[in-house]
Structure 1
Amino acid sequence: MSQNPCFFFAADQNYFPYACLAARRVLDVSGPIKGFILQMGVSTEDLEVGDRLLGSAVSILDVSKFMEARNFDPGHLTLATYIRLFADELAEFKPYDHIVYADSDVLFNRSIVDLANTQLLAPLLAAHDEQCYFDTKYRRRLPMKPGAPKFNAGVLVFNMPMVRREGLLQRTRELASQRVDNMDQGALNVAFEDRWQTMHPYWNVMTNFTSQVRFDKAFARHFTRGKPWSNRPIGVELEALAIYRHLAKDTPWAGHFARQARFVLKRFTRKLDAITGFLTNDEKRRRRSLFDAEQVSAVFAEHADRLMMAVRYPERVSGIESKKTTTSPR
């Protein structure tokens, strides 16, 4: 169990409203825990709204000068995207042993304290990226070992004493500056290879490929495709939109959530994967048609309960075997 945990979001002007709403949701469903929003370039008007919405429970910190002083080249991404990679250098985080990071498009349904207090035997706690079970191209793009699993970096728990001792975030920054594929997320996966523990999959239920898991079962819903505030919020459940509307109702951001979710279309097109995969000779679609999110989640939930490190050869774990990949589990 963590001795002193905290959580944080990071955002620029574009994502700051959604980071504030996500943080407000964390406070509403969680026990006492300190929170932070690390921001760059946010307007005075939005900062005032954020302060009013979150109060003293969440500190909103301007890290613009801190990040600019690092002379880090963000490439085609925004500099704010890389804020989480500097958690080991931020003075505000020195008192905390477990630090939970979440993307601004993550909505929590369960107390983040439960996640922060997970027993950690490794530097990082992360959820297997379930897309990898039917799309293994990342193994050709990233300098990782054969059969290496990949995690999604939208929800992470850093075991800071171990991270600092092993210099893992420093290594991540070096890899990101070298333009490792997928930049920040790819760099994290390479730097933390063999050093991450399996997170219960319900803490990061992504809407692109885990729509089979209902919203009310997710500990945290990650809107990795359509966003609740987008023009076409495909994959966003009506329950989620209702929560966002409630969170934003007394703010200038309420109008961002006026549209209705369109999740039926996505579910329908998923049913066509087997047919379109056969007609187009698309291996990814064929394999995706066999994917059972509930079954895979049950496997990794057991791994999380047993405090297991990430398991290699995810095709074997998910019941989908690749002819090109060795299938013996680690």
Structure 2
Amino acid sequence: MDILYCGDDNIEDGLILSVLSLLKNVKEPLHIFVLTIYFCAGEKVYYPISGAFADTLDKIVKEVNLDNFVFLTDITEVFSAEVPKANLDTRFTPCCMLRLFADKIPGLPEKILYLDNDVICRKDCSDFFHQDISEYEYAGALDYYGRWFFRKNLLKADYQNSGVLLMNMGMIRESGLLQKCRKLCTEKRMFMPDQSALNKLAVSKKIVPRRFNEQHRVQRDTVLQHFTTGFRFFPWFHTVTVKPWEAEKLHSELGMYEYDKLLHTYRRLCPIIKEGLPGGCS
């Protein structure tokens, strides 16, 4: 199974936890590709994920299966050639748009599952990965909130969340989808720029069931849970953002305890991976 993550060193906590969840639930070999950059936007500096971090994570995944690997690619030069200028000073970081450069990276598989770093694999996602998407640019679930407000088709919900995308790189290159998305992000300021661009410009996309990108409350059949910002209406209207590595908030705000064992492994391995110390995954 081929997996893609993108981001700077701020995604490291989520990346570790997300990868551990895949190791727990997926039995086939995991080929994990990570795109990172060094970039300055005004006073904000985005530092790349280090090679030492990736090497140690690679050793951890190989302890489970020798065919597993983690492969880090610094795409600073590629990104700098097509900087999404219109969206650099939004609340969404430039790193959110790295997935839009996947078609320019040599060596990526023809089919790859992109995951945000706040996505947890709850059940085996092999069937989802191996579904036929030969006639589609990508497959993804509807955005839980956005489906009500944004759509191209007035007769049905079609606005998808970009945090879990099963991408057909051959068709994407043929249609020029990501190239068009990058161009739009350089010219037009948008809310959730990468997601907005994909929804606006995709011509052949497959909508998959909610269980493959659960953005609200976990269900019995949830396969991939995505910890996005949600809304609460009582005792007053407010937003709630809880990330899967925030154990105390998982307990106190979401009443969620099912990932405690996974979090225990994460807390033990996190310093090992970040500092490159000897350790293991057992």
TM bucket normalised to smaller:
0.7 to 0.9
Tell me if 1:242 matches 2:261. Answer: yes
Tell me if 1:92 matches 2:107. Answer: yes
Tell me which residue corresponds to 2:124.
111
Unaligned runs of 5+ in 1: 255-330
CA contact (8 A) 1:51 1:60 kept: no
Percent of pairs identical after alignment? 25
Alignment of 1:74-85 (within 5 A): 74-76=87-89, 77-85=92-100
Tell me which residue corresponds to 1:38.
35
Tell me which residue corresponds to 2:278.
none
User: In structure 1, how many angstroms separate the alpha carbons of the residues matched to 2:59 and 2:84?
Assistant: 32
Equivalenced residues, count: 236
User: In structure 2, how many angstroms separate the alpha carbons of the residues matched to 1:158 and 1:236?
Assistant: 33
Please state how far the C-alpha of 1:183 moved relative to its aligned partner.
0.9
Tell me if 1:190 matches 2:197. Answer: no
Greater helix proportion: 1
User: In structure 2, how many angstroms separate the alpha carbons of the residues matched to 1:28 and 1:59?
Assistant: 20
Alignment of 1:1-330 (within 5 A): 6-30=2-26, 31-40=28-37, 41-43=48-50, 46-47=53-54, 49-55=56-62, 57-73=69-85, 74-76=87-89, 77-93=92-108, 96-120=109-133, 121-132=135-146, 135-136=148-149, 138-139=150-151, 144-147=152-155, 149-177=158-186, 178-192=188-202, 194-207=203-216, 211=217, 213-214=218-219, 216-225=220-229, 226-230=242-246, 232-233=249-250, 234-235=253-254, 237-252=256-271
CA contact (8 A) 1:24 1:53 kept: no
CA contact (8 A) 1:20 1:37 kept: no
Please state how far the C-alpha of 1:72 moved relative to its aligned partner.
3.4
Please state how far the C-alpha of 1:47 moved relative to its aligned partner.
4.1
CA contact (8 A) 2:13 2:245 kept: no
1:83-124 deviation digits (Å, cap 9, x = unpaired):
11011110021xx22111010000112333322211113111
1:174-221 deviation digits (Å, cap 9, x = unpaired):
2222223321111111011x52112132110113xxx1x43x531111
Unaligned runs of 5+ in 2: 38-47, 63-67, 230-241, 274-282
- Higher CA-based Rg: 1
Which structure has the higher relative contact order (CA within 8 Å, separation 6+)?
Answer: 2
SS for the counterpart of 1:217 is coil
Aligned CA RMSD, in angstroms, stands at: 2.5
User: In structure 2, how many angstroms separate the alpha carbons of the residues matched to 1:62 and 1:54?
Assistant: 20
User: In structure 1, how many angstroms separate the alpha carbons of the residues matched to 2:260 and 2:36?
Assistant: 24
1:220-279 deviation digits (Å, cap 9, x = unpaired):
11111311234744336211243222233233189xxxxxxxxxxxxxxxxxxxxxxxxx
User: In structure 1, how many angstroms separate the alpha carbons of the residues matched to 2:207 and 2:111?
Assistant: 15
TM-score of the aligned structures, taking structure 2 as reference length: 0.74
